[in-house]
Amino acid sequence: MAVPEKEELSPDIMLAFYKRLYPFNSIFNWLNQDLVASRLFTHREFAFTLANDAYLRYQSFNNAADMKKQVLSMNPTRFEIGPVYTAKPRDRKLIRPGAFTPQLRELVFDIDMTDYDPIRTCCSGADICRRCWGFITAAVKVIDAAIRDQYGFEHLLWVYSGRRGIHLWISDTEALELTDEQRKAITNWMSVVPHGNESGKKVNVRYGARALPACLKDAVDQLKGIFAELVLEDQDCFGSEDGFEALLKLIPDSSIAAALGELWSNDPSRPSADKWDDIKKQMKKYERNSMPRTVMTNALEDIVLQYTYPRLDAEVSKRRNHLLKAPFCIHPKTGRVCVPVDPSEIDSFDPMSVPTVQQLLRELDEAGAAPANEKEHDWEKTSLKLYVDMLDKHNAGVMAQRPRGKKRGAEDDLSW
C-alpha cells in the first residue's frame, strides 16, 4: 500500500495497520497471562471508538483471532481495555442484575503533560517537545522506583500515550486482585501533588516541621539533580515575574520572602538558578539546626517535590472499571503508535521519534511486503519490532509469575 508522507489517518490506513501490523497475539498473551485462553481474556471488557465517534463498550473476545476478526470488522480509530468481569461483557444482558461486576484489573497510572502547564515554560496544552518531556522522564523514574520498592510489584509495563503522556500497567497477580479501596489508598499515597491548576502551595506531606517520610525523602534525593537541570536551567521556571512570584508564595519565612521579592523585582529576568542560590544565602542567616532554618530547609524540599514529583490523574487508578487506551493503538492527532517504553532507557526516549502508522506502512512497502503476501507478523519487517519484542519480553516475565500466584484456568469461577 503506497502511503504518502503526510497522508491523514484514513479508514484504509487504519484497516491496513490492524490487518498487517497490530500485534494481536502479544496483546492476548499480555492480558491473558497464558497461551491458552482463560477468563483473564474472555471476560475482559474492550471498548471501541469508531470513525463516526460512536463509542461501543462491553466488547469481549474468545481469543486473539476472534479479537482481530472483530477489530477488522469494526475498524475502530482506537480501543480501550477495561477489567475482567464475572461474565463475558458481551453476555452481560443475560446476567441477573447486580451479578455483573468487575473482579480483576491491572493497577494503572496515567501521567499527562497538560498537568504540568502551570510550571513548564516551553509548551502548553496539547503541545510537547523534547525539553518539557523531561517532566515525564522524572515521573517515570520516581513512580517506577516507588512501585517496585514500596509495594514490591515487578511486572510494570510503561506505554507512551502517542502524544503528550505515558501510562503504566502493573500485571502482578497481587495488583490484579486489588479492591477499589486498596487502589484508592495506593493512589492517594502516591498523589503528592494534587490534580489541578491552582497556584500556591500544593505539597502537604509533613507533620509540622518534621522530616519527610523516608520514601519521599528518597524521592527528593532522586529529584534534586533533575530539579536543578530541568526546572532551574532548562525551563528557567522562575526567570519571569510570574515565575518568581509563584516561588515566593512557597517561602514560609515572610522576612526572607520580602527581601527576595525586593531583590528580584529589580532584576526580574535574573536566572532561576541564581534566584535559587539567593534563597539559600538568605537561609544562612539562621543558625544550623535552628527552627527557622529547619522550616526553610523543609520548604525547599517541598518546592522540589511540587515542581518535579509526578502529577497523576488519580481517578484513572482508583477504580477497576476505568478503561485505558490499549498499547499499540494509533493516536488520532499525531498518527504515532502507543509503544512500550523501557524505564531503564527513559532518559534517551524521544516521543518525537516514535514511529507513525504512515511510516510503518511505508517500511512494509520498502521491504517488498505486498498486501497479497501479508503474514501474521509483518511488524517484524518494520521499526515496530523493537516495541513488540519489548512487550513479549514483559509477557514472559508475567507468565513466569503464574506458578507462584493463583492459577486461573478457564474453569475458575471469579464470582466470589
Task: Output the CA–CA distances (angstroms, integers) from residue 53 to 50, 75, 332, in the order listed.
Answer: 5, 12, 12
Would residue 366 show up in a list of annotated catalytic residues for this protein?
no
| Rounded Cα–Cα distance for residues 173 and 171 (Å) | 6
Considering the candidates 80, 106, 110, 172, report the single residue annotated as catalytic.
110
Catalytic residue among 112, 115, 301, 313: 112
pTM metric for this prediction: 0.91
Residue 135: pLDDT band with limits 50, 70, 90:
very high
Residues 6+ apart with CB under 8 A from 379: 20, 21, 22, 23, 360, 385, 388
Residue 102's SS3 state is: strand
Q: Per residue in 79-111, pLDDT tens?
A: 999 999 999 999 999 999 889 999 999 999 999
Phi, psi angles (nearest 5°) of residue 256: -65, -45
pLDDT (mean) for 300-326: 95
What is the rounded distance in angstroms from the CA atom of residue 150 to the CA atom of residue 163? 30
pLDDT at 318 over 60: yes
What mean pLDDT is predicted for residues 346-370?
91
Q: How far apart are CA 113 and CA 65, in angstroms?
A: 35
Ranges assigned E (strand) in 148-307: 156-160, 165-170
The burial class, CB within 10 Å (0-12 / 13-18 / 19+), for 10 is exposed
Sequence letter at residue 232: L
Q: 74-91 burial, b for 16+ CB within 10 Å, e for fewer?
A: bbbbbbbbbbbbbbbbbe
Can you tell me the distance from the alpha carbon of 46 to that of 61, in angstroms, rounded to the nearest whole number? 9
Of the chain, the percentage scoring pLDDT greater than 90 comes to: 82
Least confident range of 42-46, 60-64, 208-212: 208-212
Query: Do the Cβ atoms of 169 and 106 come closer than 8 Å?
Result: yes
Mean pLDDT of all residues in 251-266:
96
Q: Does domain 11-109+151-189+312-400 have CATH number 3.40.605.10?
A: no
Contacts of 255 (CB under 8 A, 6+ apart): none
374-395 residue pLDDT tens:
666 799 999 999 999 999 999 9
Closest listed residue to residue 351, CA positions, set 167, 141, 164: 164
SS (H, E, C) 66-89: HHHHHHHHHCCCEEEEEEEECCCH
pLDDT level of residue 126 (50, 70, 90 thresholds) = confident
Question: Can you give the residue ranges of every domain in the chain?
Answer: 11-109+151-189+312-400, 193-308
Could you tell me if 104 and 38 are in contact, meaning their C-beta atoms sit under 8 angstroms apart?
Answer: no
Does residue 112 carry a catalytic annotation?
A: yes
3-state secondary structure of 119: coil
Higher pLDDT, 17 or 369: 17
Q: How far apart are CA 201 and CA 307, in angstroms?
A: 11
Our answer to whether residue 389 is catalytic in this structure is no
pLDDT per residue over 164-219, tens digit each?
999 999 999 999 999 999 999 999 999 998 876 666 788 888 877 788 888 899 99
pLDDT at 230: 97
Query: Does residue 233 sit in helix, strand or coil?
Result: helix
Q: Could you tell me which residues come within 8 angstroms of residue 128 by beta carbon, excluding any fewer than 6 positions away?
A: 113, 163, 164, 351
Average pLDDT score, the chain = 91
| Order of all β-strands in the sheet with 107-112 | 107-112, 165-170, 156-160, 340-341
Sign of CA dihedral 335, 341, 346, 349: negative
Q: Does the structure show a pLDDT above 70 at 6? A: no
Neighbour count for residue 407 (Cβ, 10 Å): 11
